[in-house]
Amino acid sequence: MIQDTLQQFGLSAPQAEIYSLLLECGQQKAGELARKSTLKRSSVYYVLEELQTMGLVEKQQESEGPDMFILKHPEHLRSH
């Protein structure tokens, strides 16, 4: 499973879950990720912040509406 592989690269289980959802679904809003994941909405925001700090996810600020989150190139996984 992809989440197991991501954890081998050093991601926590929640980080791997959100990362794999972004891999599957493409760019998403945090609320969409929360609905698709097993995590609470507040946890999704926290995990997204962690992934941004790690350089794995980028937040695209929308002029109207919620921000979108997208994956950065997977090469950034090598450093974690």
pTM of the shown model: 0.87
More confident residue, 74 or 55: 55
pLDDT one-digit tens code per residue, 16-29: 999 999 999 999 99
Q: Give the span between the Cα atoms of 35 and 62, in whole angstroms.
A: 20
Residue 33 in tokens = 């990720």
* Average pLDDT, integer, range 52-75: 86
What pLDDT band is residue 79 in, cutting at 50, 70 and 90? low
CA proximity to 27, closest of 59, 54, 55: 59
Among all chains, which residue has been given the structure tokens 């999704």?
Answer: 44
- Residue partners of 17: CB distance under 8 A and separation at least 6: 3, 37, 38, 39, 47
